Amino acid sequence: MTTDPRLYLDQELSSAARLPLGREESHYLINVMRRSAGDTVRLFNGRDGEWRAEIADANKKHAMLDLAEQTRQQAGVPDLDLLFAPVKRAKTDLIVEKATELGVKRIRPVTTTRTQSERINEDRFRSIAREAAEQTERLDLPEIVPLAKLDRVLDSWDETRTLIYCDEAGDDGARPWGGDDGRAAAMRDMLGGPGPAAILIGPEGGFSPQERDRLRQLDFVRPVSLGPRILRAETAAIAALTLWQSACGDWS
Ligand code: SAH
Q: How does pLDDT run across 166-182, given as a tens digit for each residue?
A: 999 999 999 999 999 99
- Share of residues in the chain with pLDDT > 90 (%): 93
231 ligand 1 Cβ < 6 A: yes
Using left for φ > 0, alpha for ψ between -120 and 50, and beta otherwise, residue 216 falls in alpha
Q: Quick check: CB of 207 below 6 Å from ligand 1? A: yes
Pairing state between β 197-201 and 162-166: parallel
Residue limits of CATH 2.40.240.20 in the chain: 6-72
- CB of 76 closer than 6 A to ligand 1? no
- What is the average per-residue pLDDT within 31-57? 97
Coil, strand, or helix at residue 3? coil
Q: Where in the chain is the domain with CATH 3.40.1280.10?
A: 80-248
CA-based radius of gyration for the chain: 21
**CATH, range 80-248:** 3.40.1280.10
Task: Look at residue 194 and tell me whether its pLDDT is greater than 80.
Answer: no
Which of 35, 125, 113 has its CA nearest to residue 82? 125
pLDDT at 25 over 60: yes
Write down the pLDDT at residue 200.
98
Ligand 1: which of 180, 224, 231, 241 to mutate, most ligand atoms within 8 Å of CB? 231
Q: What average pLDDT does range 40-48 have in this prediction?
A: 97
The class of domain 6-72 in CATH terms is: mainly beta
Ligand 1 pocket test target in 83, 226, 229 with most atoms within 8 Å of CB = 226
pLDDT at 1: 57
Report how far residue 77's alpha carbon sits from residue 45's, in angstroms, rounded to the nearest whole number.
14
pTM exceeds 0.85:
yes
Q: What is the DSSP letter of 5?
A: P
- The angle that helices 122-135 and 89-101 make with each other, rounded to 10 degrees, is 40
Q: Which ligand 1 atom minimizes the distance to the CA of 232? A: 8
